[in-house]
Structure 1
Amino acid sequence: MSGLLHRALSGGVLTLTLNDPASRNSLSEAMMAAIEDALDGARNDPDARVIVLAATGPAFCSGHNLKELTARRSDADKGAAYYSGLFTRCGRLMQSIVNHPRPVIAAVQGLASAAGCQLVASCDLAVASDAAGFCTPGVNIGLFCSTPMVALSRNVSPKQAMEMLLTGDVFSAADALRFGLVNRVVSPNELPGAVAALAAKVASKSSHTIGIGKRAFYPQLGLPLADAYAMTAQVMAENMMTRDAAEGIGAFIAKRPPEWTHG
C-alpha cells in the first residue's frame, strides 16, 4: 500500500484507507487534500454507493499534525492566518462528509484522537475494534479541542462530551458505544468483516433513496418539531415520485426482490 490515502472500490463500496502510520495518520495538509479529493471524486461516481474510512497502523487518526502547526510559528504573524485557514479547512472537510450524498462509515482499528475523533463523529456510522480508543486531549497541551467539539457534541450527550473535552482522557471503545459515538464494537479480527457486512448491506439499497434520506437527516435535527415534520413530509412526497420508490413498493407488493435503477 503506497501513498497517503489508498483507494479500493469493490461491490459498490469505496474504501479510503489513511496510510501514514509514521505520523499516526495525522490530518496533515496533504492528508486532508487527499481525503477531500477522494470524497469529491466519489460524489458523482455511480459505482461508489458507500464510503468506508479506514486506517493502517496502531492509530486511526491522531488529529492535526502538530509538527506542521509548530513550524508556522516562525511566520511574520506567528501563524495566525495559517491556523485560521487550517482549522476552517478542516471544518469544511468534516462538513463534506456530513453533506456527502453517500453514507460514510468509519472503521476504527486504533486510537482516534482530537480531530481524528472529530473524523469518526462526522461519519454517518462507525464500527470500532475493542482495541480502539477515543479522546479529545487538546486540554493536555493547552489547545482546547474546540472544532472537534462541534462533531462530538452532535453525537453524544453534553455531559459526556464535556467529560472528554475537559479531562483529555482516552475512552475505550465500550465507552464510545455507550456514549453513542460508535454503532458497534467487535474484536480486532472481526473488524474488517463487520465493516464489510455493514457496508454491503447499505450498498444493496437504492443509492438515490439513501441520498435523499441523508440530505434530510442532519438538517431536520436542528429544526423545531413542526418544522421538521413539514420538511420531511415534502421530502417523502418527492421521494414517492422517484423510479426506485415505484420499483421498491411494487417489488414489495409482488413479493420479489427490487431491481434498483438508483434514480
Structure 2
Amino acid sequence: MSDLLTRNTDDNGITTLTLNQPERRNSLSMDMLDALSQALTDIEADGATRVVVLAASGKVFSAGHDLKEIRDQLDSQAFQLALFNRCSEVMQQVVNLSRPVIARVAGVATAAGCQLVASCDLAVAADTARFATPGVNIGLFCSTPMVALSRNVSRKHAMEMLLTGDMISATRAEQLGLINRCVDESELDEAVFTMARTIAGKSGHTLKIGKGAFYKQLEMPLNEAYAYTARVMAENMRADDAREGICAFLDKREPEWKDS
C-alpha cells in the first residue's frame, strides 16, 4: 500500500483502510484518491475481504480536497475537472463495491471528507466528531459532496448544511441520518468492529446481492422497484447459501456459508 493509505485484514475478513496523512488533514488530493481507488480495486478482486472499515489517522477524518493543490492549479480548468471527476469515481467505487463499507469517524469530516462518510454504506462516529459541507464559506459550493449528502439526509437538512456551511455535531449527524451511531470516543472501535464482525458472519454472496440491489432500486419508481427486487429474490433463492440458510434455520443450527 501507499504511505498515504494503510491496509490491514484481520482473521474475520475485516479489511481496515486508514487514510494516513494526518499532517495534511487526510485531504483527498489526487494522489490520495488514486491510492484509495487502487485499494478498492484490489479489495474487489480479493476473496479474503468480507467487510471494509474506512478509518483515518489523526484528529481529522478528512478535510476534503487539498486546497493547496487546488490553489496551485487555479488556472487549470482541466486539472479541476479531472480532480472532481476522479473524486466522483472513487465515491461511486465505494457505493458499487460488493462488500459493505463502514466509515469509522473519530474526527472532523468536511466537504469531500463528509461526502466520503455519506458514500459509505454505514457510519459510526465518536461523539467528538463533527461534520460540515463548508464550501460556501470560501466561494466554492460543495456541489459534488451534495450528491452523497442529499441521498442520505432529507432535502431541507441537506440544504441547511450546504447553504450555511455550519459544522454539526456527531449527535446531530445521527439525528439527520448522516451516520448510524454516535458513541463515546472510548467505545468507537468496539462499536465499529462489533458491527463489522456481525456483518462479516453473513453470507458474502448474499451481502453482494443485497447491497447491489439496495442502491439500484432506490433510483426506480415504486412499481419498478418491487418488480426488480422480486426478480432479485427469486434469483437469490437459487444460491447455495440461501438453501443452506433456510435449512439451518429450520434445523435450528448455525449455517455453514459457501459464499455461493
TM-score bucket of the superposed structures, by smaller chain: over 0.9
- Structure 1-normalised TM-score? 0.97
Q: Which runs of 5+ in 1 are unaligned?
A: none
How high is the sequence identity, in percent, across the aligned residues? 59
Q: Normalising by structure 2, what TM-score?
A: 0.98
| Paired residues of 2:2 and 2:35 also in contact (CA < 8 A) | no
SS in 2 for 1:190: helix
Which structure 2 segments of 5+ residues have no match?
Answer: none
Taking the aligned partners of 1:221 and 1:33, their CA distance within structure 2 comes to 28
> Partners in 2 of 1:245 and 1:44 — Cα distance?
23
Give the letter aligned to residue 5 of structure 1.
L
State the 1:2 CA deviation. Answer: 8.2
Question: 1:5: which partner in 2?
Answer: 5
Aligned to 1:252: 249
Q: Distance in 2 between matches of 1:146 and 1:111?
A: 19
> Is 1:209 equivalent to 2:206 in the alignment?
yes
Q: Distance in 2 between matches of 1:145 and 1:127?
A: 23
Structure 1 residues 185 and 165: CA distance shift in structure 2, 3 A = same
Q: Does 1:195 align with 2:195?
A: no
Report the counterpart of residue 24 of structure 1 in structure 2.
25
CA deviations 1:82-103 (Å, max 9, x no partner) are: 1011101100000000011000
Cα root mean square deviation, aligned: 1.0
Q: Does 1:155 align with 2:152?
A: yes
Q: 1:60 aligns to what? A: 61
Tell me the number of residue pairs that the alignment of Structure 1 and Structure 2 aligns.
Answer: 259
Deviations 1:203-255 (A, max 9, x none): 00001100000010011011111100000000000000001001101100111
* Contact in 1 for aligned 2:13/2:50 (Cα 8 Å): yes
Matches within 5 A, 1:72-91: 72-73=73-74, 78-91=75-88
Runs of 4+ in 1 over 3 A off after TM superposition: none
Distance 1:2 1:91 in 2: 21
Paired AA for residue 192 in structure 1: D
1:44 positional shift: 2.3
2:46 aligned partner: 45
User: Counterparts of 1:85-104 in structure 2 under 5 Å?
Assistant: 85-104=82-101
The one of 183, 188, 199 aligned to 1:186: 183
